Amino acid sequence: MVSIYDWFGYGVPIKERYKLIKEAGFEAVLLWWSDGFGRGAGYREGVKLARSAGLLIENIHTPVQQQNDLSLDNLAGESLLDCYLQCIKDCSDFDIPTMVVHLPSDQYPLNELGMNRIKKITEIAEDYRIKVAMENLFNVSNVAGVLDSIPSEQIGFCYDCCHHANNETAGDLLGKYGNRLMALHLHDNGGEKKQHQLPMDGNIDWIDVMRKISETGYKGSTALEPMNWDYENISIEEFLLKAFEKVKRLEKMRFEL
């Protein structure tokens, strides 16, 4: 199965967007779960619209704007915890199995309060049987701290290959946490922002990446997380066709290596 992040740019209404994603050949989507970045207050309506278009929903991406507040002993820290707990409940209400979380950057190390909040997230995730996947960015110490100390089957890893490639100190993340893999974010590191390009348009060694993913035994979809930042000169239809052609190449590598 191949999937794509749904909020990748272009000013196209969400209903039409899902229709085009399906027509390009994708089978599933990853939903941006917030009114931020121009999505608007009706982001929950995307669940029905995606399914009406014939798309599966693999996971939601939780809000990221306050990601560094998790250890703060103030209203901002409590608000972020409440946000994540609500996302778990939303996943349960909408029958979505997994949510992706950005832990704080490593310059904001998780303290005892932050870890206690992670334990509360774990408790609620276990109650609702929702998977919570911690994504790697420049936060690998915090990710390691959570995954090494929280053995719950509901807490795992979202592997972002571009963030990994751009972080020289990250180490062998799939070797360490491939057995906890719950989600993929595949995109390349070319372009002006060095991230969120379509695969094969940057410098990532895709044969190596897909081989390592294959070795984990991960059963989820081959999932793209591109943006149209370097593709504004082509239509959304052309962008999606390019994305589908590239993700099918990645899927072929994944299952043949």
Report the distance separating Cα 198 and Cα 216, nearest Å.
Answer: 23
Give the per-residue pLDDT at 121.
98
Flag whether pLDDT at 144 surpasses 90.
yes
What was the pLDDT predicted at 168?
Answer: 87
Quick one: which of 48, 3, 47 has its CA closest to 28?
Answer: 3
Give the C-alpha separation, 33 to 100, whole Å.
Answer: 10
Here the tokens at position 150 are 């929280």
pTM over 0.85: yes
Span 135-154, average pLDDT: 98
Question: What gap in Å lies between CA 2 and CA 181, rounded to an integer?
Answer: 16
Q: What percent of the chain has pLDDT over 90?
A: 96
- DSSP 8-state secondary structure symbol assigned to residue 60: E
Question: What rounded mean pLDDT belongs to the chain?
Answer: 97
Q: Could you give all domains of the chain from N- to C-terminal order, each with its CATH number?
A: 2-256 (3.20.20.150)
Q: How far apart are CA 213 and CA 174, in angstroms?
A: 7
Burial class (CB in 10 A: 0-12, 13-18, 19+), 152: middle
- Is residue 97 within 8 Å of residue 86, measured between CB atoms? no
Confidence of residue 257 (pLDDT cuts 50, 70, 90): confident
How confident is the model over 56-72, as pLDDT tens digits? Answer: 999 999 999 999 999 99
What's the mean pLDDT in 36-41?
89
Q: 144, 189, 183, 143: which is closest to 166 by C-alpha?
A: 189
**For the residues 11-36, what does the mean pLDDT come to?**
96
* Predicted local confidence at residue 163, as pLDDT: 97
Confidence class of residue 102 from pLDDT cuts 50, 70 and 90? very high
Q: Tens digits of per-residue pLDDT, 191-250?
A: 999 999 999 999 999 999 999 999 999 999 999 999 999 999 999 999 999 999 999 999
**How does residue 190 score in pLDDT terms, banded at 50, 70 and 90?**
very high
**Rounded to whole angstroms, how far apart are CA atoms 115 and 110?**
6
- Strand, coil or helix: what is 59? strand
